[in-house]
Amino acid sequence: MAGYNQFMFELLNPQSALHTQAPQAAFFHLDGDELLNVSLDDGTIKWEKGMVNDFLTQVALYARSTPATTIILSGIVLSPFTILTHLNHNSGISVPRIQETVNRKIEKTAREHANIHYFDFPAIVTHYGLESLVDDKFWYLGRIKYTNTAYVQLARHLKSLVDAIHGKTRKVLVLDLDNTLWGGVIGEDDLQGIQLSEEGIGKVYRDFQQHIKDLKSIGVLLAICSKNNEADAMEVIEKHPMMVLHDSDFVAKTINWNNKADNIRRISKELELGLDSFVFIDDNPVERELVRQNLPDVMVPEFPKEIEKLNKWFISDVVYPFFPKVILTNEDNVKTDQYKRNIQRKAFEITLDLNEYIRSLNIKLNISLNDKSQIARISQLTQKTNQFNLTTRRYTEGEIGQFMDDSSKRVYAVDYSDKFGKEGIIAVVIIDILSKDAIHIDTFLMSCRVIGRNVELSILESIIGSLSKETPLKTIQADYIITAKNSLAKDFYTKCGFEASGSRVLAKETLLSNLSTLQHG
Amino acid sequence: MADIEIIEKIQEIASYIFEVAPETIQLTSKQEDIPEWDSLGHLRLIMSLEEIFLVKFPMDIIPTYKSVEALVTEIKKQIN
């Protein structure tokens, strides 16, 4: 709501709230018509190009001075209908192109700074239309730019973006089958009777499956939870020619007559993922309620009453709120494979004794130091790892980048592979150098995908070992900060020979000799 | 719609916007009696009433509705 001079003043004045309060997040939403002041002068179009450049320069400077602040820049929208009528696009004049140019500049600024993000306001306008978002009456009477509808949508989309930036996104989509992935009930209708096709209602379900498949390709895990005879359901999945989703797309399947809360709990155990990573979709309100009551951590959205709304509902009420993403990592594309290999490894596990098993995995660890190409994945791991995480400190990409430039900090990323394949970066360690012979372990975390293979011991040993080569260490400080989820990591430091002192554990010279006797993979 | 329903809805919306107890808003309430009913609050109230009752208040008259009763009268006129 601030005018041009006010937001520039906020950015330029070192005494302003923006500079003195170090906010967690700053959202810049600029009114395109007011900012750019597009006008026609002697047959040529004029607009305030300089203001856009000044604004973006100042935002970039601000972003660099406050790497811990998340900055969100809204794309601008210009009123599409003006006195220029069909001159737009048909002559050298094009107001829409000005909007494009400005938004490309904003996007570029966002891409060049880890802590700046682009907010797609033009997409909201395309979907809802300026007519329903802006009411001139309230603009002229009281400078209220938008309608209530507009503020609700701005708030929803902004929350989704902020959640994506902070890695607050769920990991598993659990799906019912009958009347959810296809129309009809396979136990009652036969294979030809269910609705799944290129026409009519059948096409609604086929499109739905395609959206789900796309979601899987960007790192969401899929599971089935259906009350059915397994053979009936598998017949559709394997034999129906219009199925988009196939057996191999799902990391877990519970097709039986048990209650769905128990089945979802079982999937959670199998994948070693907490129930607060789960979203459950079912057309049956009784099943939804049962899961809501028994597993309050699982998100269970309502299901649309009119089936033609299924696909729009899925994008706006499931994907945006629960699976938002602002960056793709290499790990995201292959996530389903990784979890499946893990299940294979587990099956393999039963037949061997543990040490034998770990040795037979041929684990290879590759530890990199301050590798900037890994900032996105490192930040993602600090945001998402809950179980084997000693301090659960969450860091944005901006903060990780800042640590890598700080000579008193070290950021290690650990790449894992074994005979089943590559897992990618699975562990992060952040060290504070306190003095020439003392360090503090700020962060030690490892993805639960590789838990139970003594990998954590090898990682700590290698990092302490390499730091000791630089300078002999006398003191290593480390914390274990208890949370609702990290009891798995509780004994890690004592197991490594650290001594407890209050909440902090201290290690002396004995650590290194202790470590070298520990077995590692 | 009966008067009582209109009043109850106004009560619900106005108390939410002004952040006051619902009973503060009565048919006899006037803008001058409720400090939270300032000029910005007034516009937000009018905007929400337009959405809820599917009515339109003319721009030049908006500043003159200075009581709950005036709002009820205008809404009744438009929806009946």
Span of A14-23, A203-212, B14-23 with lowest mean pLDDT: A14-23
Q: Which of B39, B40, B48 is nearest residue A148 as measured by Cβ atoms?
A: B48
Q: A250: which DSSP letter?
A: E
Q: What is the pTM of this model?
A: 0.69
The residue with tokens 């838990």 is: A451
Look at B47 and A141 and tell me if their CB atoms are within 8 Å.
no
Higher pLDDT, A36 or A344: A36
Question: Which residue from A316, A275, A271 is spatially nearest to A295, judged by alpha carbons?
Answer: A275
Residue B1 C-alpha, separation from nearest chain A C-alpha, in angstroms: 24
Q: Does B4 touch chain A (CB under 8 A)?
A: no
In the numeric block, which tokens belong to residue A379? Answer: 């930040």
pLDDT of residue A306: 96
CA distance A144 to chain B (A): 8
Q: Taking CA atoms, what residue in A is nearest to B51?
A: A148
pLDDT digits 0-9 by tens, A434-464? 988 889 999 999 986 677 778 898 899 889 8
In the predicted structure, residue A403 carries a pLDDT above the cut 50:
yes
What is the rounded distance in angstroms from the CA atom of residue A425 to the CA atom of residue A385? 12
* pLDDT, position A77: 96
Amino acid identity of residue A279, one-letter, is: V
Query: What mean pLDDT comes out for the span A26-36?
Result: 89
Residue A381 CA: distances (Å) to CA of A59, A60, A116, A359, A428: 28, 26, 20, 26, 7
Which is more confident, A1 or A166? A166
pLDDT at A468: 84
CA–CA dist A255, A240 (Å, integer): 17
**What's residue A508's pLDDT?**
46
Nearest chain A residue to B41 by CA: give it: A142
Average pLDDT of span A163-183: 95
Residue that wins the pLDDT comparison between A245 and A37: A245
A372-394: average pLDDT: 89
Residue A58 pLDDT level (bands cut at 50, 70, 90): very high
The pLDDT of residue A190 is 79
Question: Is residue A71 within 8 Å of A117, Cβ to Cβ?
Answer: yes
What pLDDT is attached to residue A348? 54
> What pLDDT score does A519 carry?
36
| CB < 8 Å to B47, chain A | 135, 138, 144, 147-148
Residue A351: what pLDDT?
Answer: 47
State how far residue B3 is from chain A, nearest Cα, in angstroms: 25
Per-residue pLDDT at A33:
87
The more confidently predicted of residues A73 and B39 is A73
Whether A143 and chain B come into contact, CB under 8 Å, resolves to: no
* B-chain residues near A140 (CB < 8 A): 59
pLDDT in tens, A254-269: 999 888 999 999 999 9
Q: Which residues of A touch B17 (CB under 8 A)?
A: none
B61 touches chain A (CB under 8 A): no
To test the contact with chain B by mutation, choose from A138, A143, A146, A151 the residue with the greatest count of B C-beta atoms within 10 A, namely A138
Confidence of residue A353 (pLDDT cuts 50, 70, 90): low
Give residue B44's pLDDT.
93
Domains and CATH numbers, chain A: 7-165 (3.40.50.1110), 172-322 (3.40.50.1000), 330-520 (3.40.630.30)
Cβ A147–B39 below 8 Å, yes or no? no
Residue A347: pLDDT band with limits 50, 70, 90: low
Q: What is the mean pLDDT of residues A57-83?
A: 92
User: Does B44 lie at the interface with A, CB-CB under 8 angstroms?
Assistant: yes
d(CA A261, CA A300): 12
Rounded CA separation A247/A254 (Å): 12
Of the spans A119-128, A388-397, A417-426, which averages the highest pLDDT? A119-128
Q: Which residue on chain A is closest to B56 by alpha carbon?
A: A137
> In terms of C-beta density within 10 A (0-12 exposed, 13-18 middle, 19 or more buried), how is residue A66 classed?
middle
pLDDT of residue A510: 44
Contacts of B43 in chain A (CB under 8 A): 138, 141-142, 144
Q: How many angstroms separate the CA atoms of A173 and A254, rounded? A: 13
Tell me what pLDDT residue B46 has: 95
Q: For an interface test with A, which of B47, B51, B54 has the most A Cβ atoms less than 10 Å from its Cβ?
A: B47
What is the predicted pLDDT for the residue at B8?
93
pLDDT of residue A209: 98
Would you call B62 and A141 a contact, using CB atoms and an 8 Å cutoff? yes
Question: What's chain B's Rg over C-alpha atoms?
Answer: 11
CB of A365 closer than 8 Å to CB of A423: no
The answer to whether A144 faces chain B, any CB pair under 8 Å, is: yes
State the nearest Cα–Cα gap between B43 and chain A, in angstroms.
7
Q: Given a cut of 60, is residue A248 above it in pLDDT?
A: yes
Task: Assign A5 a pLDDT band (cuts: 50, 70, 90).
Answer: low
Per the listing, tokens 């809950």 go with A386
- B47 — contact with chain A (CB < 8 Å)? yes
Mean pLDDT of chain A: 87
Residue A43 has pLDDT above 90, yes or no: no
CB pairs A-B closer than 8 Å: 24
Structure tokens belonging to residue A323:
């699976």
